[in-house]
Amino acid sequence: MKIKILPFLFGLLFFMGISQERTIKGKVSDGTNPMENVEISIKDAGNSVFTDATGAYEINAQTGDRIVYRYAGMKTITIRIEDVTRILNPIMVPDIEELDEVEVVASKRRSQKDMEEDYPFNDNIIRTAFGYMDADRAAGNVRIMVEEEINAVNICIVDLLRNEFPGVEVRGDCSFGGSVVIRGFRSSLGRNTAVFDLDGLILPDMPIWLDLGNIKRIAVLNNLATTAPYGALGVAGVIVINTVGGNPKSPQVIDRAKLRNNYVTGKVLTQTEVKNNAAGYLREMMASNSLEDSKKVFENYSDTYHNSPYFFMDAYAHFVEKWGNEAYADAIIKDNYGLFQNNAVLLKALAYTYESQGRSDLANEIYKEIFILRPNYSQSYLDMANSYRDMNEPKQAAGIFSRYNYLLEQGFLEADTLGFTPLMAKEFNNLLTLERNVILESNKARKLYAAENGFKGTRLVFEWNDSEAEFELQFVNPENQYYKFKHSLADNEVLIAREKDYGFNVMEELIDGSLPGLWKVNVNYLGNKSLTPTYLKATVYYNYGQRSQRKETKTFKLDLRNVNQELFRLNVTGGLTQN
């Protein structure tokens, strides 16, 4: 299992890759019943198949193909085929409202640095809370008005939006405030009015106090492609306002939960209750009174589950975490390693498990394997860099970040300027800020510029091993109000498409010092289209960006579906935002 990656391979691996045609099979349902006569096709290929009376289908596809599922009255689903895709069991939902079709076409995107430099001269670039956006290259129409076009006749922002942006329904007046409804963007999911992004500060209410003479640019984001970074908060559209003296890198953190009148109700399962619903073999092992009894239970079930990598991962974790017997646990994985090889999804689940146990060296070896399997995935670079950092090898970590940036510059990788690339920049900057004296010689380290992270507090990073995983993360503040991050095709199709196009499965949440008390993180697992568990890794950074920064890694096996379960609690001070 020992693998060594030579530096030159990081460049050469981009030219490796074999697309082999294979059969994709599964069943289509509406969540309750199978669906017959669903049309299934490969995008841009022309050939179609249809589901039978049981909802079953088979279709030949290659890695990188997009399978399209169509049925009258239901929302069309498009799923990109990955290297591990074999079974897809999608759930179709009613197409309640007709949205303009938006197709994201791969193109060479401009870097955040380029757009930052062009911002003063290019009227089609705006600053959002999640980075710069070029309206000319954005996936969808972005309407922008610049300061020279703002008519002095308009008394306040209410009048400006009402008079200058056709298709935007404005309610209210300059005395009592107002709200904005973007045509075709009413939502049954929560908010039905647009939010405002004012120099990076996200506001639920219209800023009627704003002096129109201080506006440099104002833009209306009215489609899912451009509002995806805002998550559920931007589902009804976003009005972005850049002021003349606005700070382009505002560190302001907001408590998203307080923007909506959401209070947690109903049953939330504890981790103990979740374990009580685990597979029978695992419950028997957990109930064992001795190491020898646990071994007997494992051996009794080994023949029955000899083809299940999840059985062996459960057994491995049990013998390490309950009995501290790493030698026996390691032998289980070694003897059954053939079930994991060449499968990046299973290997990543194993790496997560090693990380949560503090076994950084084993996780590093696994991430090297995954990198060889997926050299064109952006996530591979994040995983490798953070893995080296866990092993206290910051120079190697810095080398991986530098290689990623080089490949972006040379066009071998494409930058996701709305999500992943800024996150990578934050990770690299954090490394340089805290480890500059180790990475460089002392005289050079003093000259190294590392921008301030801006945020100080608790940072939560979530990663999942299966790109098909659908779930809802619920962040509950000390007042029992919550905000949800919805990772599902029904709620966030554009984001999921971006994740597959660029090759990443990660998101972050930030908790600052504005609301002290106990925070809770819950999850509702919706499945992953193949009826297998998903592994979710949560990394908690305490005192983020400070010399006292430390982190804690937790890994959760998600297989209990459609129930709200508590993952963990944080006794910190905070207000919540998403980047």
Cβ-based neighbour number of residue 37 at 10 Å: 12
Within 13 Å and on the Cβ side, how many CA atoms surround 131?
Answer: 27
The count of other CB atoms within 10 Å of the CB of residue 91 is 20
| pLDDT for the residue numbered 96 | 63
Q: How far is residue 493 from each of residues 78, 411, 468, 486, 488, measured CA to CA in Å? A: 9, 26, 11, 10, 7
Confidence of residue 409 (pLDDT cuts 50, 70, 90): confident
Sign of CA dihedral 288, 294, 298, 299: negative
pLDDT at 578 over 50: no
Q: pLDDT per residue over 481-499, tens digit each? A: 888 899 998 888 888 888 9
At residue 373 the predicted structure's pLDDT band, cuts being 50, 70 and 90, is: very high
Ordered structural domains, the chain, with CATH: 21-80 (no CATH), 112-250 (2.170.130.10)
Give the integer Cα–Cα distance in Å for 357 and 351. Answer: 10
Neighbours of 241 (CB within 10 A): 22
Most confident of the ranges 14-28, 328-342, 510-524? 328-342
Among the listed residues 521, 410, 409, the one whose alpha carbon sits nearest the alpha carbon of residue 460: 521
Q: Is the pLDDT of residue 207 over 80?
A: yes
Beta strands per DSSP E along 375-456: none
Indicate if the pLDDT at residue 225 is higher than 90. Answer: no
pLDDT(308) > 50: yes
User: Using CA atoms, how far apart are residues 155 and 173, in angstroms rounded to an integer?
Assistant: 10
Q: Of 75-84, 144-153, 189-198, which range is least confident?
A: 189-198
Predicted confidence band of residue 372 (pLDDT cuts 50, 70, 90): very high
Say yes or no to pLDDT of 400 above 80: yes
Cβ-based neighbours of 481, under 8 Å, separated by 6 or more: 257, 258, 260, 261, 262, 263, 264
Instruction: Give residue-wise pLDDT tens across range 247-256.
Output: 654 445 556 6
C-alpha dihedral (515, 520, 526, 527), degrees to nearest 10: 120
Grade residue 151 by pLDDT with cuts at 50, 70 and 90: confident
d(CA 74, CA 492): 16
Instruction: Give DSSP secondary structure letters for 102-132.
Output: -------PPPHHHHHHHTTT-TTEEEETTEE
pLDDT given at position 118: 81
Which pTM was predicted? Answer: 0.70
Q: What is the mean pLDDT of the chain?
A: 84
Predicted confidence at residue 452, as pLDDT, reads 46
Residue 201, pLDDT > 80, answer yes
CA distance 18 to 87: 20
